[in-house]
Structure 1
Amino acid sequence: MIKPLQIGITGGIGSGKSTVARIFQVLGIPVYDADSRAKAVMIQNDSLKKAIITNFGENAYLADGSLNRRFLAEQVFSDGEKTKLINSLVHPAVAQDYEQWLAHQQSTPYVIREAALMIESGAYRSLDKLIVVTAPEELRLQRIRTRDPQRSEAEIRGIIAKQMPEDEKLKFADFIIYNDEKHSLIEQVWALHKNFLQIF
């Protein structure tokens, strides 16, 4: 059985990678949103849930069984070692979830896997091509402040500072999408869509 081509999409916070993924979705291409799925897997996967409680304590989950995101964010964002630890627990479980999802996508020429930490986690190595979405930092900052008004500028800049620098990310890219309000996103995605159909 021929597997569909696997295309990754990544980019820093506020770069617009989710918007790009949605355009591919409109073109009929299945999209696996790794960051959203990670939140679901952390609740649904019992062995992962146990590992998180063992390492972070009972407060990692609320009384109704949902993820205590505020508590985990406070634990993780202030401590690099804890960030590595949570990623080492979650990423393998998400990779397994992705493989199960991929097994049901045999009738499509290619699929999109979208994730913020695709390069950092090493997940890009299992994919056929990688798209990096890039945007100027000030524009990213503006977008995040509009989307997440509860976050301060200092907090957003702190998140950006912790992520892999854009110029480093671009070294891993097979394709770059410029989301700088000067280039048409739709035209860039359409050109890649046609390219991927030819590769398949």
Structure 2
Amino acid sequence: MKVVGLTGGIGSGKTTVAGFFKELNIPIYIADEAGKRLMNTSSEIRQEIIALFGEEAYQDTLPDRKFIASKVFNDKDLLSKLNKIIHPAVEKDFKTWLKDQSSEYVIYEAAILFETGGYKKCDFSILVTAPQKLRIDRLQKRDNSSVEEIKERMNNQWNDVKKSQMADFLINNKELAQTKLQVEHIHHQILKAGKNS
């Protein structure tokens, strides 16, 4: 079974694209959601995060995401340490999930697929792009962030030019009808590649 990595900068519309693959009966694993779930449920992760950030990192049994985000926002070293706790746990969880799937391929959606080297574990990778203005508009509608906050978050991710050189497929997500056609085209190419391998 092939693993297809799906990524894109914030506001590019990764989740929308994942939804189109789901309509084609392709199982979707969303790494960021898995990471959040594991932070909530794994006592091992909880202990490691408290060791890294202190007791305030958890309120009762749940992580204080705002507190953790404020700590890592401008501290790349701390963010890297947090990722070293979360990413191996997500990888293990994904392997367990994968055993239950029976389709030709699955989609592994991750925000920082290229930055972490996660794409190397995938058979193919898809990069979702969109013009910056459109991405900013989407994010303002979604979570009322200011343009400055959004641009700062964008600057923490690699730019599309860098990522596109590593991606096997590109989806330009401006208009939904066009995006859906691009997804269907890539779907057929992946199925064809599977038959030829």
Place the TM-score, normalised by the shorter chain, in its bin.
over 0.9
The residue aligned with 2:82 is 86
Residue from 131, 140, 144 that aligns with 2:135: 140
1:6 alignment counterpart? 3
State the one-letter code of the partner of 1:148.
D
Q: 1:182 offset after TM fit, Å?
A: 8.7
Q: Which moved more, 1:180-189 or 1:21-30?
A: 180-189
Give, in angstroms, the shift of residue 183 of structure 1: 7.1
**SS, match of residue 184 in structure 1:** helix
Pair 1:42 & 2:39 matched: yes
Q: Which secondary structure state, in structure 1, belongs to the residue aligned with residue 63 of structure 2?
A: coil
Structure 2 CA distance for partners of 1:192 and 1:174, relative to 1, 3 Å: same
Is the counterpart of residue 56 in structure 1 residue 50 in structure 2?
no
Gaps of 5+ in 2: none
SS at match of 1:21: helix
- Root mean square deviation of aligned Cα: 1.2
Hey, which bits of structure 1, 4+ residues long, moved more than 6 A? none
TM-score (norm 2): 0.95
CA distance in 2, matches of 1:51, 1:122: 23
| Structure 2 counterparts to residues 65-80 of structure 1, below 5 A | 65-80=61-76
Structure 1 residues without counterparts, runs of 5 or longer: none
1:129 aligns with 2:129: no
Structure 2 Cα separation of the partners of residues 23 and 153 of structure 1: 28
Q: Give the distance between the partners of 1:97 and 1:123, measured in 2 at CA.
A: 14
Counterpart CA distance in 2 for 1:182 and 1:152 is 25
Percent identity between the aligned chains?
Answer: 41
Pair 1:119 & 2:114 matched: yes
Cα distance, 1:78 vs structure 2? 2.2
TM-score by length of 1: 0.94
Following the alignment from structure 1 to structure 2, what is the Cα–Cα distance between the partners of residues 12 and 191? 22
2:156 equivalent to 1:162: yes
